[in-house]
Structure 1
Amino acid sequence: MKKVTCFYLEKCPYCIQAKKALDELVDENPDYGQVEIDWIEESRNPEIIDQYDYYATPSMFIGQEKLYEAYLFETYEECKAHVKGVLDQALAR
């Protein structure tokens, strides 16, 4: 299993939706709760974010590989599916 790094902004509605999706996914499948996620608040960690290639939050990585980056007008269902995909990849590695 690999650790996931997630960049977020505290008041970002897409980040809030990703955290809600994560909570729901863990409720649906407790195995997802085993995935370690390093939540990095973008505005407080400029020295870290410079090492990653992304434009929008939330963005989720395993190592330097970007697995998910939110986009404008993304629905909750789309977000949840992307977060699930990240969790599935983390568990499989």
Structure 2
Amino acid sequence: MKKITMFYLDDCGYCHKAHKALDELMEENPAYKAIEIKKVEESQEPEYADQFDYYATPTFYVGDQKIFEAHIGMTYEQIKAEVKNVLDTALA
């Protein structure tokens, strides 16, 4: 199992959807609860966030590989599917 790093901003609507998706997915599949997730609010930890290659939030890394970076116009269903892929990748 690999560690996930999630970059987000408190005032980001897509980030709020990703947090909601994480909560729902963990209720749907308790195995996801065992995954270590480091959540980084990028405006509070800019030096750490600058070490990673991404433009938009939320962005998820599994280990050192970027798995998902949100883009404008994503629906909640799309974000939830991407977050599920991140969790499945971490479990594999």
- The one-character-per-residue Cα deviations of 1:28-78 (angstroms, maximum 9, x if unpaired) are 110011111000000011111111000000000023210000110100000
1:55 lines up with 2:58 in the alignment: no
Corresponding residue SS for 2:43: helix
- What is the CA-CA distance between 1:15 and the residue it aligns to? 0.4
Structure 1 equivalent of residue 66 of structure 2: 66
The residue type paired with residue 19 of structure 1 is H
TM-score, normalization: structure 2?
0.97
Runs of 4+ in structure 1 deviating by more than 3 angstroms, as ranges, are none
Structure 2 equivalent of residue 42 of structure 1: 42
1:20 lines up with 2:27 in the alignment: no
Measure, in 2, the Cα distance between the counterparts of 1:84 and 1:52: 21
Q: RMSD in angstroms over aligned alpha carbons?
A: 0.7
Measure, in 1, the Cα distance between the counterparts of 2:28 and 2:63: 26
Aligned-pair identity (%): 58
The residue type paired with residue 5 of structure 1 is T
Structure 2 equivalent of residue 83 of structure 1: 83
Unmatched 5+ stretches in structure 2: none
Corresponding residue SS for 2:23: helix
Structure 2 equivalent of residue 6 of structure 1: 6
Measure, in 2, the Cα distance between the counterparts of 1:28 and 1:80: 12
